[in-house]
Amino acid sequence: MQRIEVTSSNQKLVAYEGNKRIFEFDCVLGDDKTPTRPGHFIIQWKDPHHVSSQSGHPMPYAMFFDQGRAIHAGNHIELRHLAMRAGLGTLDNFTPEAAKIGSHGCVNLKKEDAAKLYQWAKNGTSVIVR
C-alpha cells in the first residue's frame, strides 16, 4: 500500500510502500497566509504538464490531493526549503509575490524529485499532511 507523508515542521516528504521507505525529499509547503491544510487525503488526479488556472504558473508533475492543492515541481526548492525550516515563511507584507518563500498551499519539490514521485504514485495513493 502506497502512502506519502508530508511534515510541515521539517518540510519533508517521505513516500512509503507498506513500511518500506521509497523516497525522502525536501519540500516547501504553504506559509501562514496560504497554508497547506493538514489532514488525510488521496491523490485524486495527476497531470504532468498542469498550468495553474489561478496564476498561470506551470505545475509540472502535479498530483492533486486536496481541492486545488497538489504535490508538484517548484522553483528554488533548496533555498526556499532552508528558509521555511528557519521559520522565515513570508518575510513581510512588502515582499513581492515573485519572492514568496512558501507555496500557495501546494507541496513543492525539486523537478527531478517530483518526476520520480509522479512515476511512482498512483491515483488513490494516501497523502498525510502533518
Strand order from edge to edge, sheet including 58-66: 45-51, 58-66, 69-73, 107-109
Claim: this prediction has a pTM higher than 0.85: yes
Render pLDDT for 27-82 as a digit per residue (tens, 0 to 9): 999 988 889 999 999 999 999 999 998 888 899 999 999 989 999 999 888 888 88
The C-alpha cell that represents 49 in the structure block:
504538464
Q: Which domain holds residue 44?
A: 2-129
The answer on pLDDT for 128 being more than 80 is: yes
CATH number of the domain at 107, please.
2.40.440.10
Domain count, the chain: 1
What is the pLDDT of the chain when averaged over all its residues?
90
Per-residue pLDDT, 92: 53
Using pLDDT thresholds of 50, 70 and 90, give the confidence band for residue 101: confident
Q: Are strands 45-51 and 2-7 parallel, antiparallel or unpaired?
A: unpaired
